[in-house]
Amino acid sequence: MTAPARRRVAIVAGGSRGIGAEISRELAAGGTDVVIGFAQDSGTADKLAAEIGEAGRGRAKAVRADIAEPDAVGRLFAEAEQRYGGVDDVVVCAGAHASQRGPLAETDDESFRRVVDVNFRGTFLMLRAASTRVRAGGRIVTFSSSALALGMPGQAVYNASKAAVEVLTRQLAKELAGREITVNAVAPGPTGTELFLRGRPPEAVEALAKQIPLGRIGRPDDIAAVVTFLLSEPGGWINGQVLHANGGIV
C-alpha cells in the first residue's frame, strides 16, 4: 500500500493581510499547511487562520512574530516544525515604509530604523533560519519592489533596503547549492494594498495606473499568483532571480 504524500508546510511572514493573506489562502487551497506570521493585529490573523481551516484543504496557524527580532523568527520555525513536522516553503513578505515619504534629507531616525529593521534585518533573519531549517526540495521567496528600478524620489531608504534584499536572495541561492532549494525574489509594482494606499490620494493612484501599460495598478492576487508559481513544482527551475510583477511599468 502506497504511503500518502507528505503535506508541504509553508511559513508566510507578513501573511495575514494584503498580498501575504492572498498567498496564505492560495497555498492552503492547494493543500499546504501554513504558519501565518503577523506583527500586530491578532484578530485579523486569527480570522484568516479560521477561514482557511473552514475551507478544509490546508491547515493554518497564526503566530505573532516581528521578524526584526531573532526570537520571533525562531518561534515561526518552531511552530511549523512542532505543529506540522517541518518547513518546506518560506515567504518573506512582511514590509515597512517610512512613516512619511520624503527626501533623504528629511527622513527621521525612527523611519530609517523601522524600514531597515523589517525589510533588511527581518529578511536576513528569516533567510538565516531558512538556510538551515528548510527541507531539501524547498522554496524560499523574498520581496523586493519595482520601486527600486523606478528610482522615484522620496523612497531612498525603502529602495536601499530592497536592494539589500535582492543581494541576500541571490547570495543564498548560490550558498544552498546541492540541496535542491530555490531562492527567488518577487518585485511587485504599485499594488492596491493597505500599505501602498496609506497616505496616497486617489488622484496619485490614478496617475500611477496611467503609467502602467496594462492600465491599472496590481491586485494582491496578481502577486500571490507569481509567488505560488515560484513555490510550485513547475517553478522549480527558476533560482536566484528577481521577478518583476508590475504590469510593465519598468
- Per-residue model confidence (pLDDT) at position 4: 56
- Per-residue model confidence (pLDDT) at position 144: 97
- Per-residue model confidence (pLDDT) at position 121: 97
- Per-residue model confidence (pLDDT) at position 153: 83
- Per-residue model confidence (pLDDT) at position 67: 97
Cβ atoms within 10 Å of 50's Cβ, excluding its own: 12
**Residue ranges of domains in the chain:** 9-245
Q: Answer yes or no: 84 catalytic.
A: no
Contact at 8 Å (CB) between 180 and 126?
Answer: no
3-state DSSP call for residue 22?
A: helix
pLDDT digits (tens), the chain, 250 positions: 555 578 999 999 999 999 999 999 999 999 999 999 999 999 999 999 999 999 878 899 999 999 999 999 999 999 999 999 999 999 999 998 887 778 899 999 999 999 999 999 999 999 999 999 999 999 999 999 999 999 888 889 999 999 999 999 999 999 999 999 999 999 999 999 887 887 788 998 999 899 999 999 999 999 999 999 999 999 999 999 999 999 999 8
Contact at 8 Å (CB) between 85 and 133?
Answer: no
The b/e string for 52-72 (b: 16+ C-beta within 10 A; e otherwise) is beeeebbbbbbbbbbbbeeeb
Closest CA relative to residue 217, chosen from 235, 186, 192: 192
CA atoms of 22 and 25, how far apart (whole Å):
5
The CATH class of the 9-245 domain is alpha beta
The residue assigned the cell 523586493 is 144
Contact at 8 Å (CB) between 161 and 119?
Answer: yes
CA 176 to chain centre: 20
Catalytic residue among 120, 124, 158, 196: 158
- Per-residue model confidence (pLDDT) at position 249: 94
CA atoms of 107 and 29, how far apart (whole Å):
41
CA atoms of 46 and 14, how far apart (whole Å):
13
The grid cell for 139 is 522554496
